[in-house]
Amino acid sequence: MPEQRKFPLVIRNALCAEDVRPEANGKHSLLGVFAGDLLVQELVGAVRMAFYIEATTKVTGIIEANVIVYFDKQPIIKGEAKLDFLNVEDPAVFAIPSFPVMLTKEGELRVDIECNGATRTVLKKMVRKADLEAMARAREKSLKALTPPAPRRRRPRNL
C-alpha cells in the first residue's frame, strides 16, 4: 500500500477580491472583496481578480507549494512558493495580485494548493449572470422598508 502524503498547511483564510496590495508595514490591503457568488451583468469580458490566502503549518522547515486558479476546470494561473516556517504559529501569506479573468460563460472559480504530493481546494466561487439593475432596485426597496420614517414636526402651540 503506498504511503499517503499529508498536507502540511492549515488554511486560515482564502479570499477573492478585486485587488490585493502589499503595504509598507508588511500587511496587505484587500480591495473589493467578493462575498458569495460572483454575479456579473454580461459574460463577455474580463474581470480583474486577486486572491489572498493565509496559512500556518503543522511542521517547521521549508515547504514548497503551488497555488493554481481554475475557471470551469481549466487552469488560468499558477504560482509557486517556497516557504521557510520557523514557527508553526506564524502565518504565511499567498498574495496573488490582480489579473484579468475572461468570463464567457457561467462556471466555477476554484483555487487549489498542491503541497507535499497532496492537493487541497481552498476557495470555490460560482460565476453567474445576474440582472444587476433588478438586484439594485430590490436592495433599494428593502433598505427603504428598513428606514424609519422621519420624525413629524410639531406645530408650535399658541399660548
Each residue's pLDDT tens digit, 58-86? 888 999 999 999 999 999 999 999 988 89
Distance CA 34, CA 140 (A): 20
CATH code of the domain containing 117: 2.60.40.10
At 1, the pLDDT band (50, 70, 90 cuts) reads very low
* pTM given for the model: 0.76
| Segments forming the whole domain that contains residue 69 | 9-146
85 assigned to some structural domain: yes
159 assigned to some structural domain: no
155 assigned to some structural domain: no
26 assigned to some structural domain: yes
Cα angle value 29/30/36 (rounded, 5°): 165
For 10, 70, 75, the CA distances from 7, given in Å and listed in that order, are 8, 20, 21
158 assigned to some structural domain: no
Q: Counting beta carbons within 10 angstroms of the beta carbon of residue 97, is it exposed (0 to 12), middle (13 to 18) or buried (19 or more)? A: middle
Each residue's pLDDT tens digit, 17-44? 999 998 999 889 999 999 888 888 778 7
Q: Chain-wide mean pLDDT for the chain?
A: 86
**How many distinct structural domains can be found in the chain?**
1
